[in-house]
Amino acid sequence: MAPRSVSIFGATGSVGQSTLDLIGRDPERYDVFALTAGRDVEKLAAAAIQHRARLAVVADENCYADLKAALAGTGIEAAAGAAALVDATDLGADWTMASIVGCAGLAPTLAAIRQGRTVALANKEALVSAGSVMMSAVSNSGATLLPVDSEHNAIFQCLASGGIEAVSRITLTASGGPFRTFSREEMARVKPAQALKHPNWSMGRKISIDSATMMNKGLELIEAWHLFPVGLERLSILVHPQSVIHSMVEYRDRSTIAQLGCPDMRVPIASALAWPERMETPCQPLDLVSIGRLDFEAPDEVRFPALRLAREAILAGGSAPAVLNAANEVAVEAFLDGRIGFLDIGRIVEDVLARIDMAPVASIDDVWAIDMSARQLAERLTAELIN
């Protein structure tokens, strides 16, 4: 069997490294075309050399000389900059992992979709910001979009048993994050280091903070709304602290199909990498006896307003989800830098949504314009909070 060509956008991150871990266990099976990073040249060059990539791209142009030096004599091409990231999709890999964090991943993700092959989507912010543009690019190009987010991958797997027309409800599970039992007063005092400690999953910094505010679940609700068009009223969220059930689909005959597994991102990544087949993984088997019990709670939209804001953004439509995402990216960064408090993240997102003029989204240029103005307003509100 000919090796499958793969490219990984965001290869130095948590999802990217988990993907490379799986690929590295069966190197003859894969031909690595492009690997990309934001700034981490050392990790990118090491991965490119280990996996014998053809091309390594770093988004920050200032890192080009270092990347070129790190790859000297290896035969691996080095490139840098936003345009080079998009151009890397021209290599036309059979399978592309979109795992850049944030809206920074939108252009390469969209370019990979336009190639019309298979795109494994972890970069949820791209879909949240440009959902309608991305989904029409999928249907125009004939690309296969495979969800990698554990919940959406679970739903995708559950849908194989019945089909979307027969669905009565889709339930996204949520761990509730590290502050699931905290009061608002307790949350007001938390520091970045506490918020970065997720109880079940090991993830990048931004998604860890999103999990702590539960904006991650809000973004996932928007993501599910695009990927599984059953209508908002059929999408629900259930807090399940053990993160064993990754999501569920209920059919109109009231059969509920769930996907379970240990909280290890290599499980959903492997499902997308081998799809429509199955592959071996080094992940732990599920041991329900030692887990002992599975708990469930209703989500609390008062302590975690991000859930309400995401639902309202879906209902508002147009630019609202892109505004929500951009404001959240700015606020999360400000929190991680120690410039604002934990609860200020939600306040800034809500303020930006309330103050900005909403607009229709017809093209990717509309998304860039909305993203930029929402970021500017969020930066201004952040600065006002500090002063």
Binding site for ligand NDP (CB under 6 A): 10-16, 37-40, 59, 99-101, 104, 122-125, 149, 201, 203-207, 265
Q: Are strands 144-147 and 118-121 parallel, antiparallel or unpaired?
A: parallel
Q: Is the peptide bond before 199 cis (omega within 30 degrees of 0)?
A: no
Q: How far is the CB of 237 from ligand NDP (least distance, A)?
A: 16
Q: How far is the CB of 101 from ligand NDP (least distance, A)?
A: 4
Write the CB contacts of 380 (distance below 8 Å, at least 6 apart in sequence): none
Q: What DSSP character marks residue 100?
A: -
Nearer Cβ to ligand NDP (35/251): 35
Q: How far is the CB of 367 from ligand NDP (least distance, A)?
A: 16
Rounded-to-10 torsion of CA 109, 13, 48, 110: 0
Nearer Cβ to ligand NDP (99/213): 99
Q: How far is the CB of 305 from ligand NDP (least distance, A)?
A: 19
State the DSSP string of 268-330: HHHHHHHTTS-----PPPP-HHHH-----B---TTT-THHHHHHHHHHH-TTHHHHHHHHHHH
Nearer Cβ to ligand NDP (197/355): 197
Q: How far is the CB of 205 from ligand NDP (least distance, A)?
A: 6
Nearer Cβ to ligand NDP (265/370): 265
Residue 52 has a CB neighbour count (10 Å cut-off) of 13
Q: Are strands 95-98 and 77-80 parallel, antiparallel or unpaired?
A: unpaired
Q: How far is the CB of 344 from ligand NDP (least distance, A)?
A: 21
Q: How far is the CB of 254 from ligand NDP (least distance, A)?
A: 30
CB 110 within 8 A of CB 133: yes
Nearer Cβ to ligand NDP (62/256): 62
**Rounded-to-integer distance, Cα 298 and Cα 278, Å:** 33
Nearer Cβ to ligand NDP (16/299): 16
Tell which residue, 65, 41, 119, has the closest CA to residue 56: 41
Nearer Cβ to ligand NDP (122/361): 122
**Rounded-to-integer distance, Cα 47 and Cα 55, Å:** 11
Nearer Cβ to ligand NDP (99/243): 99
The separation between CA 123 and the C-alpha centre of its own chain, rounded to angstroms, equals 4
Q: Which residue is nearest to ligand NDP (CB)?
A: 13
Helix (H) or strand (E) holding 174: strand 167-174
Nearer Cβ to ligand NDP (99/118): 99
Q: What DSSP character marks residue 297?
A: B
Residue 196 has a CB neighbour count (10 Å cut-off) of 16
Q: How far is the CB of 2 from ligand NDP (least distance, A)?
A: 28
**Rounded-to-integer distance, Cα 254 and Cα 52, Å:** 49
CB 100 within 8 A of CB 111: no
Q: How far is the CB of 61 from ligand NDP (least distance, A)?
A: 11
Nearer Cβ to ligand NDP (9/179): 9
| 263 backbone dihedrals φ, ψ, rounded to 5° | -75, 85
**Rounded-to-integer distance, Cα 96 and Cα 131, Å:** 18
CB 36 within 8 A of CB 56: yes
**Rounded-to-integer distance, Cα 318 and Cα 246, Å:** 29
Q: How far is the CB of 58 from ligand NDP (least distance, A)?
A: 7
